[in-house]
Each structure stands twice: as C-alpha cells, then as structure tokens.
C-alpha cells in the first residue's frame, strides 16, 4: 500500500504565491517519514493534502497507485479507513470523555461503541493516559490531550497516520513516550508521516524530507 503525490501545486488564493510547487512524494506502508521546515513553509498544507483534507490546486494524489474517487462519500470512506490524524492543535470533542474521543476513529469506521471502547482503552494505555479514560477531554492538559489524539489515531489502525507537530506541546519524557508508541511500538503495519520542528523526533523516522520554498528536499539540510 502506498500514498503518493505527483507534481502537487497549492495556492491558497487564486493567482497567489504557491505554498507547494510541484511536490512529488511516495510513502509506503510501514515506513516513517518526517517533514521538516520553518513555520509557514507548507508542512501542514502538505499533510492535509496527503490526508485528503485539502484538494491541491494542481497535481494528483494517488492511493495504491489509483487516483482519488470523485464522490464525496467515497473520499469519506477512504479518510475513515486509511487515515489517522494527530493535529497540531489537539482537535478533540472537548465535552466528551477521553475514552469516547479515543474510540472516535473506530466509530466512524462502523464499529459498535462497546467494541470500539475496548480497543480504545488499549490505545490509551499504550500512550500512558489509560487512567484518564473517564475524564472529560476539556479537563486535560494540552500534552495529555495530544496523547489522547495519538491514541485515537493508533486505535483505528489506519494505513497512514499523519501527525502535525505531535510533540509540540509535550515535555521531553512524554514526547519520548508518544514517539515510541507512534514509531517503534506500532502493533500493526502502518506508515507514519510527521510534520515537525523537532530534529530529534525527525531523526527517529526512516526518512526526512525538508520543505524549502515550496519544494521537497531529502534530509535535514
């Protein structure tokens, strides 16, 4: 299984300066890829295009070598089955329990709530927040919430996990724990793409790609 971009260009305004210029990239299942670059370089945009949340201005996204289906329902199905997300600002349902948040990706896939909660509990334990399962998400610290979102992505066992600054709000010890869960202790074969400022995190990945002036370069530079 693979996820590819071919000659992707993206502008936020028609006729504006492109954030990404002819980016091509392939991510194979099982590998981990770090995307580094300064703020505003287009890391998050690249990630949202990879995760089918943003339609590129030009170029194509391929999953297993196939172009994306035109129907919105099919795209939603792909998002549910193939992708797990850890966003920069921890996007969770604030008034719902930690357990419900962690089970969310499974519910979208059609799981029954009880079964989804059971799997979510395991994922919460793997990132060290199992004891918070009954808490409301809004009562958690930023770091704890980021770990809940990591558990949400892990629990759904997608083909690709896309993480936007997953350790940005974490202290060093917690950061190590999350990265270990995400990269080293994966209980299944998945690809992880991490957009990060943290070179230490980047070095944990199989490959490092740098966004420079809207183009991708190999290595930290």
Partner 1 sequence: MSWNPRTLMGEAVANVRSSAVRSAILFTALAVALGSLAYLEVHQASDLLAFESSFQSAGGYVSIVSAQGGVSAGRCEGLNRVPGVVAAGAERAEGQATFTSAPGVLYQEYGITTGLARVWATSSSVGNLPPTPGFFAGTALASELAVRGGLMLAREGESPLPLLAILDVSERAPQADRSLLEVVPPTGNADECWVEFTPQAFPGGSGALAAAFAGGNGTPSVRAYISPDQFSRNPANELAARPQRNGWAIVALLVAGIFVLVAWLRRAELGLYLALGTSRVTLATMLAMESWILVAAGWLTGVLWALAIQRATGHALTLGSIRLATVTSGSAALAVLVLAPMLSVLVARGSIANLLKDR
Instruction: Give me the least distance between CB of 139 and partner 1, in Å please.
Output: 13
Nearer to partner 1, 29 or 80 (CB): 80
Exposed / middle / buried, residue 70 (Cβ in 10 Å: 0-12, 13-18, 19+): exposed
Contact 30, 173 (CB under 8 A): no
Instruction: Give me the least distance between CB of 219 and partner 1, in Å please.
Output: 27
Nearer to partner 1, 9 or 78 (CB): 78
* Beta bridge partner(s), residue 40: none
What is the end-to-end Cα distance of the chain in Å, rounded? Answer: 29
Residue-level length of the chain: 221
* Interface ranges with partner 1 (CB under 8 A): 44-45, 48, 51, 53-55, 72-73, 76-81, 83, 85, 87, 89, 91-93, 95-96, 100, 104-105, 107-113, 116, 136
Instruction: Calculate the CA 143 to chain-centre distance.
Output: 16
Instruction: Give me the least distance between CB of 198 and partner 1, in Å please.
Output: 22
Nearer to partner 1, 102 or 202 (CB): 102
Nearer to partner 1, 109 or 217 (CB): 109
Nearer to partner 1, 77 or 207 (CB): 77
Instruction: Give me the least distance between CB of 65 and partner 1, in Å please.
Output: 21
Contacts (Cβ under 8 Å, ≥6 apart) of 95:
136, 137, 138
Tokens 């290595």 map to which residue? 219
Tokens 């998400």 map to which residue? 137
Instruction: Give me the least distance between CB of 110 and partner 1, in Å please.
Output: 4
């Amino acid at each position: 299984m693979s996820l590819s971009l071919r000659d992707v260009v993206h502008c936020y305004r028609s006729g504006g300066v492109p954030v990404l210029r002819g980016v091509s990239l392939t991510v194979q299942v099982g590998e981990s890829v770090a995307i580094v670059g300064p703020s505003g370089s287009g890391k998050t945009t690249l990630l949202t295009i990879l995760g089918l949340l943003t339609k590129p201005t030009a170029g194509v996204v391929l999953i297993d070598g196939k172009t994306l289906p035109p129907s919105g329902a099919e795209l939603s199905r792909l998002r549910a089955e193939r992708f797990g997300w850890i966003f920069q600002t921890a996007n969770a349902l604030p008034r719902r329990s930690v357990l419900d948040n962690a089970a969310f990706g499974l519910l979208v896939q059609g799981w029954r709530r009880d079964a989804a909660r059971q799997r979510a509990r395991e994922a919460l334990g793997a990132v060290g927040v199992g004891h918070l399962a009954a808490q409301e998400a809004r009562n958690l610290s930023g770091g704890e919430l980021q770990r809940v979102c990591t558990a949400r992505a892990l629990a759904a066992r997608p083909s690709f996990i896309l993480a936007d600054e997953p350790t940005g709000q974490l202290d060093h010890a917690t950061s190590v724990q999350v990265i270990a869960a995400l990269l080293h202790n994966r209980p299944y074969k998945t690809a992880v793409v991490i957009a990060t400022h943290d070179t230490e995190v980047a070095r944990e990945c199989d490959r490092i790609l740098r966004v420079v002036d809207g183009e991708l370069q190999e290595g930290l530079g």
